[in-house]
Amino acid sequence: MQKFNPVKNYQATRKTIAYVSRKEATLNDYKRIGFMSGLEVHQQLKTAKKLFCRCPAGILHDNDDYNAEIIRHMRPTLSELGEYDGTALMEFKTRKEIIYRLNNQTTCTYDIDDTPPFIINKEALEYALEISLLSNLNIVGEVHITRKQYLDGSIPAGFQRTAILGVEGHIQLKNKKVRLIQLSIEEDSCREISDIGHTRVYKTDRLGIPLIETVTYPDCETPDELREAAEYIRFLNRSTGKVRTGMGAGREDVNVSCKGGTRIEIKGVAHNKWIPELSHNEAFRQWALLNVQKLLKVQVKNQEKWKIKSKKIDPAELMLKNKLMAAIDFSDKEVYAVNLEGFQGILSHFTQPKQCFANEIADRLKVVACIEKPNMIHSEEIDGSNIKADLDKIKELLNAGENDAQIVFWGPKEDIPTALETIEERCIMAFDTIPQETRKSFKDGTTIFERVLPGADRMYPDTDSAPIPLANDYIESLNKNLPVEIFKRYEQLRKWGIPSDTDNYILKNNLIPVIEQIEKLKVPAKFVGTFFGHTLKNIEGKRKKHEDFAYNRIVKMFEFIQENKLHYAISKMMLPVLLEHPNMDFFSILTSINFKKRSIEEILAPVNYLNEKFRETNSQTNKEKVVDWIMGQLHKQATGNLELSELKTKIEKAIK
């Protein structure tokens, strides 16, 4: 019999499930694995104050910029059936001490749940309703503030105040309609500073900022469709001009499943461009776990009675040689060897690029048992780091069989029972379920276990807030002042002849209303579109934008150009100066780029001289070449004074 090789097994299992990279993936691949995905798009609203208190919104602090700290522990509350819900129990098991860093400028006693809520921020409610209407949702008759439990500590109260504004809407993508489940308004959560062992530290600057969450049905069947939906919702939110932009102001939770899989929520994806890779890998991770189930059905006969076998070991006494363990100080830790009967080939089973099933266990040891990584080695390392002598010793100690796999893990004494439980629990789940999880995303497109996915049984009415009726005439008045829908904006851009590679920039920055303003000044929309989507975007990448710069200055610039009877092409030359010095007088900008107002005659005066000069030095007399050369000599003086095509015609006439 051939010896088992985990590195080869990793490659082989990758092949078995027919993993393809996203670049290679075709529509058929997604059909094959039954890719299904939806989004929960979070967007902060641009209000002056927070949602349920009167602290200023949108001021962020550095981790060390705080005035006081408080400690809380979160306790699960019993759910309807007298059971603790999955997340609740896990969070309680972890026994986390949660520390909040408070900065007086942005945090009051409401934030730390020592003062009841104030009346909901009406400005925020209105913005959120506008976006709900734009999302074609059925608006509720009365807003009921609900408490949604979070036990990870991200909200000091242990629950988030949230309310549904609309249900059952849709957005129109290029080739399909994506249905929306609901839109809610809620308070944003704390930002995590660190999470080490049993202590998690948060800062409360972001806490309480008004946030909306748009939830779609899992209607997206490819990662690209998913991204398109994410972009659409982002553009829709931004088209109101009433949402925050910048780092963390808009975030996505991505729900993914494959055929036979389960809903997995990838949390807090900060950039839409990461969505395709993340969702692709997650669907394949589930696809891989389904194969693990299949393999285990054969390898583990009596699944119902399956248990781990563990033994406390002394790594020094055993003289284990592997490099990782040799570098660790075990003086304040206990080390355990664990045998997983029938698990050969499972630990090294492919799950994600550079990750295998063993990672699923290591991740849970970190999150559930609070044991910092590196927290284990195992008998099937896919980087080839296994040392045979070590493994033999461990196997002997555990009296392991041929087809078993082994884990050696370590941690503080008090965390060992939870750790053993966690390993066993995860292995048993592998027999027949893909555990419902929220997962944390990484730039490289992979994810790690974050928490158990909470159920719907964690919502209950906020007894501190009265329901808010939404009268019909109020909703009607909002309906009358809505911006144009995004799919119509796409149509408009095409009608204007603006190239589609500018769409993203224009919609992201909500520039269509600005283009419309400038178009009224008789500047062709096509020119304005590329002026933003190409010229401005390009210059922004090269020069430092002054903090006073606003798109309104560009409108003013075009007004100036029109008033002074200049040609709009000069705008491209003025823009770099305007970006850096938005408060500079427009005449001064012209001076700084050496622009002089000239009549057509003035500009054309040197044409004959130039014509002769060209012919003197060039044997070629091709007229086109001559005109081009003269254009090159004159276009700088001409820009802003007349249309360059007009200049060309005039030159052609002049040299006959």
Partner 1 sequence: MEDIFQGYKGGALEVLKKYNVRVWGTAKISTIRGDFEGTILPRSENDDDQHIVLKIITGYNIGVDIITITDMKETGYKKANYKIPEKEFPFTDGLPNVKLFGTGGTIASRLDYRTGAVIPAFSPGELYGAVPELADICNLTTEKVFAVFSENMGPKQYMQLAKAIGKEIENGVDGIVIGHGTDTMHHTGAALTFMVQNSPIPIIIVGSQRSSDRPSSDAALNLMHAMYAAGNADIAEVMVCMFGPTSDEYGLLHKGTRVRKMHSSYRSTFRTIGDTPLAMVNRHKIDYIKKEYKPRRKDRNVTIKPYFSDKVTMFYYYPGMKRDTLDAIVDLGYKGIVFIGTGLGHVNKELYPAIERAKKKGVYMFMTLQTIWGFVQMFVYETGREMMAKGIVPGGNMLPEVAYIKLGWALGQTDDLEEVNRLMLTPINDEITEREPYNGYLLYQGGIPEVEEFIKKVHK
Binder of partner 1 out of 469, 497, 513, 632 (CB under 8 A): 469
Q: How far is the CB of 463 from partner 1 (least distance, A)?
A: 8
Please, which residue, 136 or 517, has the CB nearer to partner 1?
Answer: 136
Stretch that binds partner 1, among 76-84, 232-240, 314-322, 516-524 (CB under 8 A): 76-84
Q: Does 458 bind partner 1 (CB under 8 A)?
A: yes
Q: Does 163 bind partner 1 (CB under 8 A)?
A: yes
Binder of partner 1 out of 112, 290, 521, 605 (CB under 8 A): 112
Q: Does 453 bind partner 1 (CB under 8 A)?
A: no
Please, which residue, 78 or 328, has the CB nearer to partner 1?
Answer: 78
Binder of partner 1 out of 8, 15, 31, 73 (CB under 8 A): 73
Stretch that binds partner 1, among 140-148, 254-262, 492-500, 552-560 (CB under 8 A): 140-148
Give the count of beta carbons closer than 10 Å to the beta carbon of residue 625.
12
How many residues belong to the site for partner 1 (CB under 8 A)? 67
Binder of partner 1 out of 12, 70, 428, 521 (CB under 8 A): 70
Binder of partner 1 out of 46, 50, 61, 72 (CB under 8 A): 72
Nearest to 654 by CA among 621, 593, 607: 607
Binder of partner 1 out of 68, 319, 326, 600 (CB under 8 A): 68
Please, which residue, 141 or 401, has the CB nearer to partner 1?
Answer: 141
Please name the residues in contact with 345: beta carbons below 8 A apart, sequence gap of 6 or more: 4, 9, 13, 295, 299, 380, 405
Q: CA separation (Å) from 384 to 8, 379, 409?
A: 10, 10, 18
Q: How far is the CB of 268 from partner 1 (least distance, A)?
A: 20
Q: Does 67 bind partner 1 (CB under 8 A)?
A: yes
202 touches 153 (CB < 8 A) = yes
Please, which residue, 147 or 242, has the CB nearer to partner 1?
Answer: 147
Q: Does 417 bind partner 1 (CB under 8 A)?
A: no
Rounded CA separation 419/411 (Å): 8
54 touches 118 (CB < 8 A) = yes
Kind and range of the H or E element at 503? Answer: helix 503-508
Rounded CA separation 592/583 (Å): 14
Rounded CA separation 143/100 (Å): 30
Q: CA separation (Å) from 476 to 192, 303, 473, 482, 615?
A: 41, 60, 5, 10, 72
| Contacts (CB under 8 A) with partner 1, residues 206-265 | 215
Give the count of beta carbons closer than 10 Å to the beta carbon of residue 530.
20
CA 140, chain centre distance (Å): 29
CA torsion through residues 395, 400, 404, 408, sign: negative
Rounded CA separation 11/29 (Å): 19
Please, which residue, 457 or 485, has the CB nearer to partner 1?
Answer: 457
Q: Does 114 bind partner 1 (CB under 8 A)?
A: yes
Give the count of beta carbons closer than 10 Å to the beta carbon of residue 54.
12
Binder of partner 1 out of 142, 444, 563, 612 (CB under 8 A): 142
Long-range contacts of 188-192 (CB under 8 A, 24+ apart): 188/42, 188/44, 189/150, 189/154, 189/155, 189/160, 190/100, 190/153, 190/154, 190/155, 190/156, 191/248, 192/154
Q: How far is the CB of 63 from partner 1 (least distance, A)?
A: 14
Binder of partner 1 out of 168, 501, 585, 643 (CB under 8 A): 168
Please, which residue, 218 or 315, has the CB nearer to partner 1?
Answer: 218
Q: How far is the CB of 105 from partner 1 (least distance, A)?
A: 13
Q: How far is the CB of 263 from partner 1 (least distance, A)?
A: 13
Binding site for partner 1 (CB under 8 A): 66-82, 88, 99, 104, 109, 112-116, 137-144, 146-151, 156-159, 162-164, 167-168, 181-182, 184, 215, 456-461, 463, 466-467, 469-472, 475
